[in-house]
Structure 1
């Protein structure tokens, strides 16, 4: 916190706004007569000035009276920026500053050194950024109301004077992908009296409470950094489920020379990246309960040789994405993969290209059928190639373009198969018997001669 060096008696008493006493507001300010000319109205009995759309008539007010003004309200500030160094210079003794319903987007300089200003209210403007040092030199500041602007992020906690009391930040479209973890710290976040009402407006955490988002982020960071299995891994929260407010995490351990899948990952991890490592085994996906909720696994460019261990397991029937490009896969249980994809309504993407597949006759045909059947899930199917034996040569082709004739020929086909020889002998005997029968019938009919074997029968 910024240390207050100037402690004046005027700062010890609670200052009550004259505008609140008299119910002054900027609502419908454009309908006021002064709005057309951009003029100010002074309320002399209590040293207040209200300006509509500018300060064009300020030079007509005696300087001595202007310098004594204690309260300023600007309705519809006319410029695109607000410059406190220049715009507040005529008012050295103001105690309350209000700027409402204005289109300016930036406070281009920090507030100058001020020793009377206790309350700043900047609301219903297009202010989208504020520096942590903006109010640093307002030594008597107690209340800053920045609600209902277009603030997306803050560089960090505002540097505020020692006796500061209340900061209001609700109603802004905060981007919670930025770092607001300081809100959780008592010495920095306690001054934000409405911090429990701050809502996220970014795409990832829209309408989630900022404090909850920051709390989950902090817990995840501590969990990842403290566990040896996740050293150097990056852990982020990528989503919070509506209503239940359950956080979902992504763990990225790519390019870290991992030899195996980590035995531990944070609860509620749904996405795991382990690309470009030296992993050979995917067994934890089947038998490690920490992986039960992991639906997306990226294992590109590893040393996985088989995924047979996943057959019949819970994970294979519930995964959403599995990427195994650039591994050492030669074969897989096609029937098991077919059954899993048939039953898994959640499956969205399975990538298997850039593996050294080997196509035997049976595997090639069933693998090809599976690629065709699930082409909407196996989206790199046209890039899956395999090696197959044709004669004495090893050939390579895309699995979807391979035919049965390519992979199902025998290496050496003999010209006459033994069965063919047997069939030939049997056919010859049948022809001989039929010929003998015709010969005997002819001789019996015309010559009355019976076959020799008939005469030998008893």
Structure 2
């Protein structure tokens, strides 16, 4: 036996002999002080519940449950309460002070206040709360020197503060499985000698920051971290460590490339079975003049809104964009998309948003071919551009908008401008007809052919009038027309 431990045990033995001269109650108090002074409170403690295999399962069938009473087991050991603590005042205070293991089956309140609810048990070493409606701790645990094990399971506990267990100095084990915990603000602040933390079987939201689980000195205490499953909509049924590993890798990858240092890189999905991560890159409103030359592998969505981009050629010839299916390029300076014609990306995209750019025309036939053969195309947004109301283009463009109305969902907001009109006239493309755009803008009111027809009509009337006049005079006066008299 080491000298230090042997000396300590001898000191305790001599103290016990002295304490035998005191009353029994003082004996326990003195022994506790002796043990606490040597720091022996941190030695491994075997709970009475482990010895007797106590559990809360089926607690509602116990006789005490109807009255919400507690039952004490052993001389100094355990207190088990079913559905309440109504008979707690009937237990003598000295016996209460000696209790070391407390188990609450069906805690009757929605909250648990460690300061007041544990005040009757100053020497508690093990606390169990199971099968209850408890949702939160009202306050953090107070200064405690004996409590070594906390097990809270099968409750509605939904949040735990990082400082909740900080002042429980002898704490070694915390079991928080089978609750309703969704997130932790960060790693729990725990005593230096803490050993085991259990967090599995909770509906964790992995969109929150749990990257600290990957840090050895912080995550190693979580014994079951390999078994923690995400339950949020985005990462449901994925292992938390897998999700956090992908997030850390993505963050490093984005930070190491100059083009993306100011962008936001996020993981929006993990494909089931294959566990391939899918990324979203947001570089909006960063005054980009060109599209980033590099984006991480497995990026499927890119936001480049509110920049100064003119050229979208990378969508055709940059292999990093080959698997980008959703791209947002609203409010840039794009004047043409002709470069996309016949390219792989144009025939496989899912979403293309070009609202608020400088597009006046586009290759309608190429767009028709791309949309007709692209079964994945879901959304094409083209409103807010200065489209020109020219006869050939706008009529074909209108046909495309109507043909693919399920994809061009903002077609009702697409307008065009009549060229060289003063004042400037704009019209909804869908409301235009061929007569509206397929005739000269300043069409004359009288055509030359109309003038010729008018002259001929006048001459015919003149001839008919002269004929009627001559007939009248011949009938009444017998005078023939002058032209007749001159005929040979």
TM-score, normalisation: structure 1: 0.87
Q: Which residue of 2 aligns with 1:373?
A: 403
Unaligned ranges ≥5, structure 2: 1-35, 453-488
Q: How does 1:144-183 map to 2 (within 5 A)?
A: 144-183=174-213
**Superposition RMSD on alpha carbons, in Å?**
1.9
1:52 paired to 2:82: yes
- 1:269 aligns to 2:299 (yes or no): yes
How do 1:6-405 and structure 2 match up within 5 A?
8-45=38-75, 47-389=77-419, 395-405=425-435
Query: What is the distance in 1 between the residues matched to 2:162 and 2:231?
Result: 21
**How far apart, CA to CA, are the structure 2 residues paired with 1:116 and 1:204?**
42
- Deviation, structure 1 residue 177: 1.1
Q: CA deviation at 1:176?
A: 1.0
Q: Distance in 2 between matches of 1:226 and 1:287?
A: 23
Deviation at 1:239, TM superposition (A): 1.1
Structure 1 CA distance, aligned partners of 2:155 and 2:161? 16
Quickly say closer, same or farther: Cα 1:8–1:242, change in 2 above 3 A: farther
Residue 456 of structure 1 is matched in structure 2 by: none
Q: CA deviation at 1:185?
A: 0.4
Judged with a 3 Å threshold, the aligned counterparts in structure 2 of structure 1 residues 361 and 89 are, in CA distance, closer, same or farther, namely: same
Cα deviations across residues 79-100 of structure 1 (Å, max 9, x unaligned)? 1110111111111111111110
Q: Flag the structure with more relative contact order, 1 or 2, with Cα contacts below 8 A and sequence separation at least 6.
A: 1
Q: Is the 8 A contact 2:316 2:345 kept in 1?
A: yes
Q: How far is 1:205 from its partner?
A: 1.1
Cα contact 1:390–1:407 (8 A) shared by 2: no
Alpha-carbon contact 1:199-1:210 (below 8 Å) kept: yes
- The one-character-per-residue Cα deviations of 1:52-74 (angstroms, maximum 9, x if unpaired) are 11111112112111111111111
Contact 1:240–1:248 (CA under 8 A) maintained in structure 2: yes
Residues 80 and 393 of structure 1: is their aligned pair in 2 closer, same or farther, counting only changes over 3 Å?
closer
Distance in 1 separating the partners of 2:99 and 2:436: 95
What CA distance in whole angstroms lies between the structure 1 residues aligned with 2:324 and 2:269? 14
User: Take 1:226 and 1:163, find their aligned partners in 2: how far apart are those partners?
Assistant: 38
Contact 2:360 2:386 in 1 (8 A): yes
Out of 389-398 and 200-209, give the one that drifted further: 389-398
Partner of 1:449: none
**CA pair 192-254 structure 1, distance change in 2 beyond 3 A:** same
Instruction: Work out the CA distance in 1 between the residues paired with 2:191 and 2:421.
Output: 86
SS in structure 2 opposite 1:110? Answer: coil
Render the CA deviation track for 1:118-156: whole Å, top value 9, x for unaligned: 111010111101111111111111110010011111111
Deviations along 1:250-284, one digit per CA (max 9) or x if unpaired, are 11111110001100111111111111110001100
In structure 2, the CA distance between the partners of 1:134 and 1:8, relative to structure 1 (3 Å rule), is: farther
Task: Compute the displacement of 1:10 (Å).
Answer: 2.7
Alpha-carbon deviations, 1:335-376, whole Å to 9, x = none? 000000001111111011111111322111111111110111
Whether contact under 8 Å (1:224, 1:231) holds in the other structure is: yes
* CA pair 69-362 structure 1, distance change in 2 beyond 3 A: same
Higher share of residues assigned helix: 2
Match of 1:433 in 2: none
Do the aligned partners of 2:76 and 2:98 also contact (CA within 8 Å) in 1?
A: no
- Kept in 2, the 8 Å contact 1:10–1:116? The answer is no
Give 3-state SS (helix, strand or coil) of 1:102's partner.
coil
Q: Which runs of 5+ in 1 are unaligned?
A: 1-5, 421-458
**Distance (whole Å) between structure 2 residues aligned to residue 401 and residue 40 of structure 1:** 79
| CA–CA distance in structure 1, aligned partners of residues 135 and 283 of structure 2 | 40
**Deviation at residue 404 of structure 1 after TM alignment:** 1.5
Once residues 391 and 146 of structure 1 are traced to their aligned partners in structure 2, the CA distance between those partners, rounded to angstroms, is 73
CA contact (8 A) 1:15 1:118 kept: yes
Distance 1:181 1:391 in 2: 61
| Contact 2:76–2:95 under 8 Å retained in 1 | no
